[in-house]
Amino acid sequence: MNIFKYKHSRRHFMKTATLAASGLTVAGHFETFGHIDNTPKPISIAEVNSNFEREPLVRPFGFKGGYMSEIWQTISLMRSTQGHSGLGLCTQNVLWSDARVFDNHSEAAGNALMYSITERAMQMVKGCKFSTPIDLQDDILDEVYAYAKQVTNNPELRMTFALNAMVGLDNAAWMMYANENGFSNFDQLIPEAYVPSLSHKHDKVASIPLMAYNIPISEITQAVDQGYFFMKIKIGQPGTQREMLEKDMQRLSDIHRAIGDKRTEHTQSGKLPYYFDANGRYEDKETLLKLLDHAKKIGAFDQIAVIEEPFAEEMEIDVHDIDVRLAADESAHTDHDALKRIEMGYKAIALKPIAKTMSMTMKIAQAAYEKNVPCFCADLTVNPILVEWNKIVASRLAAFPGLGGMGLMETNGHQNYKIGTR
C-alpha cells in the first residue's frame, strides 16, 4: 500500500486560507443540502499505513516561552474490508501539546516520539470494527494515552499530546466512514447528537493571523492594511514573570500604537478586536490583572475580545471576576475538561479539530453549545488541507459575539511555512 506525497504552495494557502482584501475566508463552497440522518454501517479496518515529512519554517516560531524551527506533517491511510479507503493528514506540534516533552528532548526527538504514538495507534486499530469514528476513538483513546505516557517517560503527559498524534488517524477514519456510507457532504457525517452545535451555515468566517513574539510591528500593520481585522497576539514571553510582564506590556503598547486607531466594517464596534494567547504562561491572577490595567491605561482594554489560556491548567483558578472573555484551548482536552473550564468562568472555547481530532471536537462543541458558550477554531500552523477541515467547522459554529454574524478561525501557515524551497 503506497502513501502519496501531498505538496502545498503559497498560492494554495492564500486561496484556501484567506481573502486578504477582506480579512475573511470563504466558506461558501461547503454549502450542502442539510443533515441527513442515515444509520451508519459497521466498518472493519483491514489495512493501515502512515508516513511523515519535515516542514521547514521561515523563522523560529516562538510561543510558550520556547521556539520551534520545523513542523512534521504526518499522513495516515486505512482501508476497510469492503475496499473503501480513508486518508488523513496531521500537523504535529510538540511545543503546543506538551511543552515539557519539547523542553526535555531535541526538537526532532520530540516529533519522533509523537509520530511513534501515531504509528502505535494505527497498528491498534487494524482489525477493529466501528460504527462511527467517535466510537473508534472512544475505544482506543485510553490505551493510546497510556502508551504516550510510557514512550515519553512522562506520567503527567497532557492528553493533547496523544490527541495531536491521533489527528491523521481520526481524519482517515472520517473519510473512510464517508466512503463506506456513501456520504457526499460534511453535514451527513455529523452524528445526530452533535448536530445542534454544528448547524449554522455561514458563507464567510473571519480569518485570524497570528502575531508571534518576533513578528515585526511593520508586518502587523501590513496585515491590517491587507484587510485582516482580528489579531491574535502571543503574550507570555520568555523570562521571569516580571520580565514577561514588562515585555508583554511593551508589545501591547507597540501594537496598539500602530493599529489601535484602525477601523473595520466587520465588528459591531468598528474597532479591531485583540485576541491574546498566553499559552498558560501567567502564574497568578495578579500578574494578568496588571497587564489588563496597562491595557486600560493605554486605551486598548475595550478592544480585547478574548484572552486564551492565561494560566497553566493545573492551577485551576476561578476567573469569574476577570472582566474580559477568557478562552480555554489546551486545557480543554476533552468535553469533560471543557465543562470544567466553563464552571471556572471561562466564556469561550477554542476548538481544534486539526489538533485534538474531529471526533473530540464534536463532543467539545456540543458541550459548550449546551452551556451557551461560544466557540471558534484555533490553528496549529497546519497545512492547507487541515485549514479546510478547520474552516468547515468554523462555518458551522454559532456566530462569535461582536462579529456581526460570522464564524471565527485562525490560520497562520501562510505566515510561517518556508514554501517553495524543496
What would the grid cell of residue 100 be? 515539557
Question: Cβ(390)–Cβ(382) under 8 Å?
Answer: yes
Confidence of residue 10 (pLDDT cuts 50, 70, 90): very low
Sign of the CA dihedral running 290, 293, 298, 304: positive
Q: Which three cell numbers stand for residue 412?
A: 497562520
- CATH 3.20.20.120 applies to domain 192-416: yes
Whole-number pLDDT of residue 404: 77
185-218 tens-digit pLDDT: 999 999 999 999 999 999 889 999 988 888 899 9
- Band of the pLDDT at 18, cuts 50, 70, 90? very low
Location of each CATH 3.20.20.120 domain in the chain = 192-416
Answer yes or no: is pLDDT of 69 > 50. Answer: yes
Among 359, 312, 297, CA closest to 130: 359
Distance CA 117, CA 165 (A): 6
State the chain's mean pLDDT as an integer: 89
Q: What is the pLDDT of residue 215?
A: 87
Residue type for 225, please? D
d(CA 103, CA 110): 9
Q: Residues 352-363: what's their mean pLDDT? A: 98
Range(s) for CATH 3.30.390.10 in the chain? Answer: 40-188
Global pTM?
A: 0.89
Q: Which residues pair with 275 in a beta bridge?
A: 232, 306
Residue 240 CA: distances (Å) to CA of 73, 286, 309? 33, 15, 18
pLDDT number for residue 38: 60
pLDDT for position 24: 58
* In the predicted structure, residue 9 carries a pLDDT above the cut 90: no
Distance separating the N- and C-terminal Cα atoms of the chain: 25
Q: Compute the distance between CA of residue 60 and CA of residue 267 in angstroms, rounded to an integer.
A: 32
More confident residue, 360 or 11: 360
Domain 40-188: assigned CATH number: 3.30.390.10
Using a 10 angstrom Cβ sphere, with 0-12 exposed, 13-18 middle and 19 or more buried, the burial of residue 282 is buried
- pLDDT at residue number 410: 93
